[in-house]
Every structure is written in C-alpha cells, then in structure tokens.
Amino acid sequence: MSSIPFSLFVISYATESGDFMYPVDTDPFGIPHKKWLADWWKARLAISAENSANYINLSTGIDNTKNPSKCFIGEDKVHNVLFLEFPDVEEKFPVRTCDVPAGKAIFLPIETSQCDYGTEGIKTENDLISCAKSGNDGVSASVTLDGVKGDYQVEKHRVMTDPFNITMNNKLMGDYRGTFGALSEGFMLELKPLTVGDHKLNYIVSVVNPANPVYDYFQNVIFNFRVK
C-alpha cells in the first residue's frame, strides 16, 4: 500500500522553481517533521565520536570533514532518508563534499538544540522545553540549491519534538553516559531526492538571540553533493 507514494517521492526536484524541499505543511512519508528531528538526534547520538562527520584527530591524521563517505550520521532505510550532519557552528564558512546514493532524500536541522534529563538543573518537562527553546530565538536563514533559492521561512520550519529517549555514549554532547528522556527544537531542512550528478547546497544561518548573546553565531555552509 505504501509502495506507490514512495515511488512518487523519488521523482527529482524541480530546480527552476525552487521545489527541492518537502513542504512544511505536509508530513514527508507520512511522518511529522518533529518525529524526523527526533530521529535525526537519535542517529547523531548513536554513532561514536570517531565516526562523526566533524571528527578531526591531528595526531593520527584523521579528518572526517574531508571524507565524502562520512557526511551522513544515519539512515531511515524504510523511507530512503539520509540524516546529514551539520558542521560545528565554530566554522563560519565550512565546505563539505559528500557522496550521495541516488534516490535518497536528505534531512538535517540547520539549527537545533537538544536537552535531556542528564543535564544538570533539568528536572521537569517544562525545564526541557525551556532549555530546548532558549537558543533558537532570533534565527534567520536562507537556503539555495544549485543557485536557486528555496522558500525557507524559518518560523514555519521551526519544530519541537515530543519527548523521546536518547542514549548518551559518544561524548558528542557531554561527558556523561546513560539513557535519558530528551526533547529537541530546531529548524528542519528536508531535501527531496536529487538527480544523478553534482549539486551544491548552500544555507546561511544567523542567530541574534534577543535574550542571551551567548547563542549568537553566523554560518555560511556549502555542501557539494556527488549523487551516484
């Protein structure tokens, strides 16, 4: 029953119209955007730090940021969705090259926060919500693919997950281990499957937080996708 819509989803995007993102008023593959964000975080925290797309070890010469096979942190194989890692926010102008299997959608939050009960001071669900939202005010963003600007309206793409469980064991989010209840908020970017060939995704994020400037940053990100 689900095979028919899946086959429709792998039709390539219409670049000339900017129709390369799943609309925010639909649920890609019947799954709400907030669930995709939770699944992205679960994938991110399930891998080891050494397999992270942002892992660099100068002493061993390992630099995953330059490895086209290390861009993705997980996959929903049922729906052919790849979870793309974003560069560390300390990188203002990161450029990544990624090998992408044909027929795969690509999902990532271009700005996100995650909080859990393993964090000091978080005791209630209201604490989780307040923590997850605190750094996401004052966000502006734009998205282009192959030079065509998409209709990315930040407030429409801002989603908050339902509570979900995560297992902390890779030190990406802190030096503590265990399984905790968590919650995330973020701005989702969900790309439809790309045609075979080379593509350039460029997104720009700026945060000028009205309550706390510690959250402020600017990032201009380029992903060069090699779809095969």
Give the pLDDT confidence score for residue 22 in this predicted structure.
94
- Considering only the C-alpha atoms of the chain, give the largest distance between any 2 of them, rounded to a whole number of Å: 52
Q: Which residues of 73-98 are buried (b: 16+ CB within 10 A; e: fewer)?
A: bbebeebbbbbbbbbeeeeeebebeb
Domain residue spans in the chain?
A: 3-227
Question: Phi and psi of 90, rounded to 5°?
Answer: -70, -20
Percent of the chain with pLDDT over 90: 77
Number of helices (H), then strands (E), in the chain: 4, 13
What pLDDT band is residue 8 in, cutting at 50, 70 and 90? Answer: very low
Taking 90 as the threshold, does the pLDDT of residue 125 lie above it? yes
DSSP 70-92: SSEEEEETTTTEEEEPPPPTT-S
Give the pLDDT confidence score for residue 4 in this predicted structure.
36
Question: Phi and psi of 213, rounded to 5°?
Answer: -65, -10
Taking 70 as the threshold, does the pLDDT of residue 143 lie above it? yes
Lookup: tokens for 203? 């997104």
Distance CA 183, CA 166 (A): 9
Give the predicted TM-score (pTM) of the model.
Answer: 0.89
**For 68-87, what is each residue's pLDDT tens digit?**
999 999 999 999 999 999 99
Give the pLDDT confidence score for residue 174 in this predicted structure.
59
